[in-house]
C-alpha cells in the first residue's frame, strides 16, 4: 500500500487517523467513493463500520462519544445519505456530543444545479451543528479536519459537519498534513474568575439547605471526583438531570437521583425547599424547571456553565460562573468549609422514606421490575442506553448509575430510535463492558435494522425490548389529560421480536411473567456469544410517576395516579 | 421582563467565511426577531467583515441573541450599541417627481438637510442624504409633500467613539 498522500480523500483519512479515530460509522455512496477508496489505499488503523441506515451511523457515533468521552466520526454520501443524518446530528447538538460528520457532495461545478444526489447539507444542517464546512480546496482538508475536531471537542462540545465535493476529495493533494488552525473567532472560557468563586463559596457557606444540581456539563468536564469531594466535604445533597446520571453515584447517601418531570419526589421536594441551588453544568432545561417563574423562587441560584449563552436563558442566577465545571469546582472546594447539614439531610431522608420509587411485583409484568432486576444483577455497573418514552423514565428512576459515561439517553431532542444504535456505538468503544439497551417497542422499530450491525460485530449488547404494544408516554398523556381518548398510539402489528432477532442471528428470549424475571435476566447477562434480545411482554397501560405536568410548578408534582380529572398541561410537550 | 419593542443597533465583527451571514441571520430569525436593516462590508483587514444590524424586539430577547451570535465560531465579537452614544450613520437616495416650477422648493428642503442633488431631469430629481437614521426619517416626512417615486436607504452603520471597539 502506498504511503504517499496523493489525493484529498487520502489526506482526510490520514488526518482522521492522526486525531486518534478508531472507528468510522457510515454508509457508502457515489459522491463519497474517493473517500471510501482512500480507506483502502491509505495505510491506517481505522475500522469502518458499515451500518444499515445513516441514522444508525450517527446514533452509533453519538453512543460511542457519550460512552468514551472521545469524538466520533460518521462518513456518508451526498443527498439522501447526508439528509438521513439530520436527526442524529440534531440529537448530538441538543445534548452537546462531540461528533464529526463527513459527507460526500456532488462535484463543485454542479453545486446549486440540482445535480444527482445533491442536497445543500451545509445549509440544511446549519441550525443543528456547532459549526460546519463546505470544503472548496483539496489542500484545505488538513486544516479543516483539525479545526473540526478542536471545535467539536472543546468548550461546549457539539457536532461539526464537513461537506466534501467529489472533485475535492478526488483532487490532487499538495498541501501540508500538519496545517495550523485558523479560528480567530473561536474563544474558549478557560479562566475561572476567583472573585466569583469566592462569592459562590460565601453563599454556600451561608446556606442552611444547599442542593447541588449536576448536569451534563459536569459529565463532559469529568468533574465526578471533585463533585464527590465537594458534596462530602460540605454534606450537600446532589440531584442530577437525566444526562447527569452517573456523575455522582446514585447509591450514595447524598444522592437524590434525578429531578424534574419524572424525577424522584425527594429530588423535586429538595428543589422546592432548598435555600441555595448550585447548578453545575445543567442548562435549566424545561423538563426540570416545571414553571420557570416559580423555580427555586426563594433560593440563591448559582449557575456554573461553560456556555455564556446559557446564563440567564431560562433562569436568572444570582451568581454566574462561566467556566469548565471541573475547574470551577476545583477552585470552589478550596474555599467551601466543612459542614454537616444534619437537619437538612435528615429531612430529605424522611422524604426518601415517605416517597420511595416503587412498583408492584405482582400482577402483570412491569417495565420497572425488569429494569430493577438488571440494575440489581449488574450492581449499577453496566453501560445503559435508553430510547425515549415511559421506559426511558423508568430506566432513569430504577437503573441507578454508579459512574460517568454509563448512561446514554437522548435528553434534549428526545429522539426515538436512538437507544439501540447508541448502545452499539458504546459497545464498539468499550467492548469489555456490559451494555444494556432498554428500548420500547415503538422506538426499537425505528432503528432495529442495526441488528445486522450488532450481529456482524458480535457486540455484547443486551437489547431489552420493553414491549407494551403502545406508544406508552403519549398514551399516558391522553389518559391523564385528554379524557382517555387514544389517538395514534396503538402499535398493532408488532413483529415477533424474538424471531426478528433470530433472523439476524441474534439470540432471543421471551419474558412474560414476573416470576421469570430473575431467571431470564440472569440467562441474558450470562449469554456470552454476542448480542441477545429479550422481548418483555409488559403491562399495556401502566403510568410513570412521579409526574410534574408540563408547565406546572414542581410543587404540583403527582406522586401517584391522580384521583381527579386533570387539566390540559400548559407547557411544551 | 421588558416586552417593549425597541430599535436596536448591533455590530458584528466576523471572519469573512461562506455561511457566516446565514448563521447570524438564523439566530435572529429563530428567536422571532425581525432584522430591519443589515449592512455587511469588508473590514479594514480583508479577512474579516463588519456587520451592522438594526432590529426590533425586547431587550431581554436581544441579550440572548447577542450571546448566541457571539458564540458562533466565525464571530469575533457581537456588541449591542443601543443607546451607548456610538456614531450611527446611514445614507439615503430619494427620487422625487418634481416639475420645474416646484424644483426650487424641493432644493431648499434638500439643502436644509445637507443633501446633494445627484440627478436632475425635467420631471424628476434624485437627492442623496447622509446622517443618522432619524434625520433621514425627518427628511422623508418633509420632502413627502412631493411625490416620492423611489426611496432607497443603505441601512445604518455604527462605530464606537473613542477607544471603544466596534
Measured CB to CB, residues of chain B less than 8 Å from chain A are 14-15, 18-19, 22-23, 26, 30, 47-48, 63-64, 67-68, 70-76
The full DSSP string for B28-72 is HHHTTPEEEEEEEEE-SSTTEEEEEEEEEE-HHHHHHHHHHHHTS
- Give the chain B residue nearest A131 (alpha carbons): B73
Is A446 in the active site? no
Q: What is the pLDDT of residue A1?
A: 46
Q: How far is CA A4 from the centre of its chain?
A: 39
Rounded Cα distance between A449 and A191, Å, is 46
% pLDDT > 90, chain A = 94
Can you tell me which residue has the cell 412631493?
A: B146
Instruction: State whether A131 and B73 contact (CB < 8 Å).
Output: yes
Mean pLDDT of the A522-545 span = 96
Task: Yes or no: say if A165 and A138 are a contact pair by the CB < 8 Å rule.
Answer: no
Res. B107: pLDDT tops 80: yes
Look at residue A198 and tell me whether its pLDDT is greater than 60: yes
Pick A313's closest partner by Cβ from B14, B47, B64: B64
- Cβ partners under 8 Å of residue A538, min gap 6: A364, A365, A366, A367, A370, A466, A467, A468
Of B18, B26, B73, the CB nearest to A185: B73
Distance from CA of A409 to the nearest CA of B (A): 26
Average pLDDT estimate for A78-97: 98
| Chain A residue with the nearest C-alpha to that of B47 | A184
CA atoms of A486 and A475, how far apart (whole Å): 6
* A121-171 tens-digit pLDDT: 999 999 999 999 999 999 999 999 999 999 999 999 999 999 999 999 999
Contact A309 B67 (CB under 8 A): yes
Write the residue in A122, A130, A184 that is nearest to B19 by C-beta: A122
Q: Which of A473, A504, A507, A537 is catalytic?
A: A473
CA distance A227 to chain B (A): 27
Give B89 to chain A, closest Cα distance, Å: 26
Distance, in Å, from the CA atom of A88 to the CA atom of A65, rounded to the nearest integer, reads 13
Average pLDDT over chain A, rounded to whole?
96
Q: Using the predicted structure, report yes or no on whether residue B3 has a pLDDT greater than 80.
A: no
Q: Which of A43, A47, A116, A313 is catalytic?
A: A116
Q: Coil, strand or helix: which one is A527?
A: coil
pLDDT of B5 reads: 64
A60 within 8 A of A49, measured Cβ to Cβ? yes
- Catalytic site includes residue A473: yes
Task: Render pLDDT for A432-466 as a digit per residue (tens, 0 to 9).
Answer: 999 999 999 999 999 999 999 999 999 999 999 99
The model's confidence at residue A567, banded by pLDDT at 50, 70 and 90, is confident
ipTM: 0.91
What does the pLDDT read at residue B123? 94
The tens digit of pLDDT for each residue in A232-248 reads 999 999 999 999 999 99
A99 is catalytic: no
Segment A262-311, tens digit of pLDDT? 999 999 999 999 999 999 999 999 999 989 999 998 999 999 999 999 99
Instruction: Verify whether residue A313 is a known catalytic residue.
Output: no
Query: For chain A, which domains are there?
Result: 8-170 (3.40.50.970), 194-354 (3.40.50.1220), 367-545 (3.40.50.970)
pLDDT for residue A504: 98
Q: Residue B1: its pLDDT value, please?
A: 40
Summarised one tens digit per residue, pLDDT across range B133-152 is: 999 999 999 999 999 999 99
- Chain center to CA of A275: 30
A117 a catalytic residue: yes
Rounded to the nearest angstrom, the minimum Cα separation between A508 and chain B is 46
Sheet holding B48-57, edge to edge: B34-42, B48-57, B6-15, B75-80
Q: How many CA atoms lie within 13 A of A291 on its CB side?
A: 14
Region at A96 (left for phi over 0; alpha for psi -120 to 50; beta for the rest)? left
pLDDT for A367-376, tens place per residue? 999 999 999 9
Q: What's the rounded Cα separation, in Å, for the pair A374 and A395?
A: 10
Buried b (16+ CB within 10 A) or exposed e, A57-87: bbbbbbbbbbbbbbbbbbbbbbbebbbbbbb
**Out of A126, A151, A309, closest to residue B64 by CB:** A309
Catalytic residue among A22, A48, A110, A117: A117
**Domains, chain B, with CATH or none:** 6-80 (3.30.70.260), 87-158 (3.30.70.1150)
Q: B73, A126: Cβ pair inside 8 Å?
A: no
d(Cα A411, Cα B88) in Å, to the nearest integer?
44
Amino acid at each position: 500500500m502506498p504511503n504517499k498522500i496523493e489525493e484529498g480523500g487520502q489526506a482526510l483519512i490520514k488526518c482522521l487517523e492522526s486525531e486518534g479515530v478508531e472507528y468510522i460509522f457510515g454508509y457508502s455512496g457515489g459522491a463519497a467513493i474517493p473517500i471510501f477508496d482512500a480507506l483502502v489505499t491509505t495505510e491506517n488503523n481505522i475500522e469502518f463500520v458499515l451500518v444499515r441506515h445513516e441514522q444508525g451511523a450517527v446514533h452509533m457515533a453519538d453512543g460511542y462519544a457519550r460512552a468514551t468521552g472521545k469524538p466520533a466520526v460518521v462518513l456518508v454520501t451526498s443527498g439522501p445519505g447526508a439528509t438521513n443524518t439530520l436527526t442524529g446530528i440534531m440529537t448530538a447538538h441538543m445534548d452537546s456530543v462531540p461528533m464529526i460528520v463527513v459527507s460526500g457532495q456532488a462535484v463543485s461545478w454542479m453545486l446549486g444545479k440540482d445535480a444527482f444526489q445533491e442536497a445543500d447539507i451545509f445549509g440544511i444542517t446549519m441550525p443543528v451543528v456547532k459549526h460546519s464546512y463546505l470544503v472548496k480546496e483539496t489542500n484545505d482538508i488538513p486544516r479543516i479536519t483539525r479545526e473540526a475536531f478542536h471545535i467539536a471537542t472543546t468548550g461546549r462540545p457539539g457536532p461539526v459537519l464537513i461537506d466534501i465535493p467529489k472533485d475535492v476529495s478526488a483532487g490532487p493533494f499538495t498541501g501540508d498534513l500538519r496545517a495550523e488552525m485558523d479560528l480567530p473567532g473561536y474563544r474558549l472560557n478557560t479562566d475561572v474568575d476567583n472573585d466569583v468563586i469566592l462569592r459562590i463559596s460565601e453563599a454556600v457557606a451561608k446556606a442552611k439547605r444547599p442542593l447541588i444540581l449536576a448536569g451534563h456539563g459536569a459529565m463532559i468536564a469529568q468533574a465526578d471526583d471533585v463533585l464527590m469531594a465537594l458534596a462530602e466535604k460540605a454534606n450537600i445533597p446532589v440531584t442530577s438531570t437525566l444526562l447527569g446520571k452517573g456523575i455522582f453515584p446514585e447509591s450514595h447517601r447524598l444522592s437524590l437521583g434525578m429531578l424534574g418531570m419524572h424525577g424522584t419526589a425527594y429530588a423535586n421536594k429538595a428543589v422546592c425547599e432548598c435555600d441555595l441551588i448550585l447548578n453545575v453544568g445543567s442548562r435549566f432545561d424545561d423538563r426540570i424547571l416545571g414553571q420557570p417563574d416559580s423555580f427555586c423562587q426563594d433560593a440563591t441560584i448559582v449557575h456554573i456553565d461553560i456556555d455564556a449563552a446559557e446564563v440567564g436563558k431560562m433562569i436568572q442566577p444570582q451568581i454566574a460562573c462561566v467556566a469548565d465545571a471541573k475547574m470551577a469546582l476545583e477552585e470552589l472546594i478550596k474555599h467551601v468549609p466543612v459542614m454537616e447539614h444534619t437537619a437538612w439531610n435528615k429531612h430529605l431522608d424522611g422524604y426518601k422514606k415517605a416517597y420511595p420509587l416503587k412498583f408492584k411485583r405482582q400482577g402483570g409484568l412491569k417495565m420497572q421490575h425488569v429494569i430493577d432486576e438488571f440494575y440489581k444483577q449488574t450492581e449499577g455497573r453496566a453501560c445503559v442506553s435508553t430510547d425515549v418514552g415511559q421506559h426511558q423514565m423508568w430506566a432513569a428512576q430504577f437503573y441507578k448509575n454508579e459512574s460517568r459515561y454509563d448512561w446514554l439517553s437522548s435528553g434534549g431532542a428526545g429522539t426515538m430510535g436512538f437507544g439501540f444504535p447508541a448502545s452499539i456505538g458504546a459497545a464498539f468503544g468499550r467492548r469489555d463492558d456490559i451494555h444494556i439497551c432498554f428500548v420500547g417497542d415503538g422506538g426499537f422499530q425505528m432503528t432495529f435494522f442495526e441488528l445486522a450491525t450488532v450481529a456482524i460485530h458480535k457486540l455484547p449488547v443486551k437489547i431489552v425490548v420493553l414491549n407494551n404494544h403502545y406508544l406508552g408516554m403519549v398514551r399516558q398523556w391522553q389518559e391523564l389529560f385528554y379524557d382517555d381518548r387514544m389517538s395514534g398510539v396503538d402499535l398493532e402489528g408488532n413483529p415477533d421480536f424474538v424471531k426478528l432477532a433470530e433472523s439476524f442471528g441474534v439470540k432471543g428470549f421471551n419474558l412474560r411473567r414476573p416470576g421469570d424475571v430473575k431467571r431470564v435476566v440472569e440467562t441474558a447477562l450470562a449469554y456470552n456469544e454476542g448480542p441477545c434480545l429479550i422481548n418483555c411482554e409488559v403491562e399495556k397501560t401502566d403510568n410513570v410517576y412521579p409526574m410534574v405536568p408540563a408547565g406546572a410548578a414542581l410543587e404540583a408534582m403527582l406522586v401517584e395516579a391522580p384521583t381527579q380529572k386533570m387539566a390540559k398541561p400548559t407547557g411544551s410537550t | 421582563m421588558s416586552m417593549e419593542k425597541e430599535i436596536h443597533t448591533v455590530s458584528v465583527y466576523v471572519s469573512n467565511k461562506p455561511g457566516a451571514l446565514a448563521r447570524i441571520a438564523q439566530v435572529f430569525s429563530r428567536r422571532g426577531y425581525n432584522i430591519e436593516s443589515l449592512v455587511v462590508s469588508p473590514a479594514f483587514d480583508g479577512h474579516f467583515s463588519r456587520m451592522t444590524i438594526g432590529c426590533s424586539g425586547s431587550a431581554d430577547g436581544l441579550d440572548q441573541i447577542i450571546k448566541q451570535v457571539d458564540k458562533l465560531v466565525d464571530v469575533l465579537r457581537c456588541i449591542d450599541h443601543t443607546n451607548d452614544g456610538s456614531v450611527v450613520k446611514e445614507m439615503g437616495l430619494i427620487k422625487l417627481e418634481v416639475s420645474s416650477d416646484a424644483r426650487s422648493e424641493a432644493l431648499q428642503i434638500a439643502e436644509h438637510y445637507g443633501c446633494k442633488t445627484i440627478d436632475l431631469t425635467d420631471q424628476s430629481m434624485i437627492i442623496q442624504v447622509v446622517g443618522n437614521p432619524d434625520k433621514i426619517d425627518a427628511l422623508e416626512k418633509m420632502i413627502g409633500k412631493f411625490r416620492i417615486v423611489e426611496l432607497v436607504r443603505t441601512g445604518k452603520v455604527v462605530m464606537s467613539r473613542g477607544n471603544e471597539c466596534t
